[in-house]
Structure 1
């Protein structure tokens, strides 16, 4: 037996908090009867409707995917470009990406059909470290990198402090490889941070998400998370 709002969230319809509001507003039915009690528990055999539409109750699944560059972090694309779910054609569940990686960014991306899990990880108040490796044009000084570490002003406000480390440099090609760890999830944030100090990103890869990494995977490959990993990452988000 699961709480009704959790089942609705796991179906990917909305967050658990918004599911609670739907229940309180009388927009949810269980076995044909309107339910307004938040403590209501349901079984897999119960029929649940939200705004008159039955929800499909699927077993939650969780995948770690090595997204290649040149792929859209979405379930479909109006321009017909390749999307991440194209790599999961044999998966029966209706999975979707947790957050996104830019079209031209590669690396670790989670996919699931658990809306509650996804909303928890993406909520701004929860801090999950995201580890990136960037190749930039130019070689930033320690002082310039310190600006990123302390937080830098972007058009949508100051960034939170970040962990930044110069990994290597190529003076002949005038490029540098820099590691950066952030916990925010603003649009194109890492690229915009480097642009703000005058060092545009040529290549960007997300190598880590919380405790998770890409070990053993090649671009375009995925693996299912273990129950322990799901619990770990969920606990990390809410602590």
Structure 2
């Protein structure tokens, strides 16, 4: 029996409006109105007022967008400095991104920035959102500012936009703008290893400095290198929407999948 069958007749668990309010979607009254309007589903079924849910097993969506409801989830936005590695532990003893945020609860970086790359990185203990933000199917954009050697020509910029051939295959089309003689703004939705650096090398303009300036809808020009802050509930919700926007008509790619363990 699926999770829908397990929970449909439950008389334990938390009331749905309480769970939704805890995520920052609004007051309990506002969440009751969402439920009454038929905008909330539990395991694919339109929820009714009074529904109780199991936050560890039930899949809750609002307007078709999954909502992370397990208690204790945290979301940090870090401005990673150069020289810090995007892992929890490093055999070479280098400083890690995990060491720059609170030790408890334990979190992991969402994707990676190589040691020489600076900029925005999300750390969380939310395995589901991590999957959706990093899996190529969902196509969440990442924007970079790349200071390069020399001034790329219009033809070189066009090559980046159209896709360039790398040793692991051609890149997908990207949004690229030359914002200064040796500064490119590059927006991609793939997540290959050192992709932006390799793209720029492919057009003959190696990267001298690389900074990630945006992850999906999330940006913060005031966050200093080496510092972090918690994402607001509205920002988490915006990430959830961004990580669901490119799912095709077949429905969410979570259908039929086991929850990832983190």
State the TM-score, normalizing by the size of structure 1. 0.73
Residue 210 (structure 1) aligns with: 216
Alignment partner of 1:133 is 2:139: no
Count how many residue pairs are aligned between Structure 1 and Structure 2. Answer: 184
Residue 80 (structure 1) aligns with: 93
Q: 1:202, 1:212 → 2: CA distance?
A: 24
Give how far 1:91 is off: 3.9
Residue 237 (structure 1) aligns with: 243
Are residues 194 and 210 of structure 1, via their aligned partners in 2, closer, same or farther at CA, if it must alter by over 3 Å? same
- Answer yes or no: is the 8 Å Cα contact 1:148–1:164 preserved in 2: yes
- Which of these residues, 95, 120, 128, is aligned with residue 107 of structure 2? 95
1:15-164 equivalence runs, <5 A: 42=54, 59-88=72-101, 90-164=102-176
Q: 1:82, 1:168 → 2: CA distance?
A: 32
Residue 226 (structure 2) aligns with: 220
Q: 2:156, 2:222 → 1: CA distance?
A: 34
Q: 1:118, 1:94 → 2: CA distance?
A: 14
Q: 1:179, 1:215 → 2: CA distance?
A: 15
Give how far 1:111 is off: 0.3
Per-residue CA deviation, residues 191-211 of structure 1 (Å, 9 max, x unaligned), is: 000001111101000001111
Per-residue CA deviation, residues 56-110 of structure 1 (Å, 9 max, x unaligned), is: x86100011100010000111011000001112x441010100000100000000
Secondary structure of 2:198's counterpart equals helix
- Answer yes or no: is the 8 Å Cα contact 1:58–1:93 preserved in 2: no
- Answer yes or no: is the 8 Å Cα contact 2:136–2:189 preserved in 1: no
- Answer yes or no: is the 8 Å Cα contact 1:107–1:214 preserved in 2: no
Mark the runs of 5 or more structure 1 residues left unpaired by the alignment. 5-37, 45-56, 170-175
- Considering only aligned residues, what root-mean-square deviation do their CA atoms show, in Å? 1.9
Secondary structure of 1:213's counterpart equals coil
Secondary structure of 1:111's counterpart equals strand
- Which of these residues, 199, 202, 210, is aligned with residue 193 of structure 1? 199
State the TM-score, normalizing by the size of structure 2. 0.67
- Which of these residues, 153, 164, 177, is aligned with residue 165 of structure 1? 177
Bigger proportion of residues as strand:
1
Mark the runs of 5 or more structure 2 residues left unpaired by the alignment. 5-42, 45-52, 57-69, 246-262
Give how far 1:42 is off: 4.0
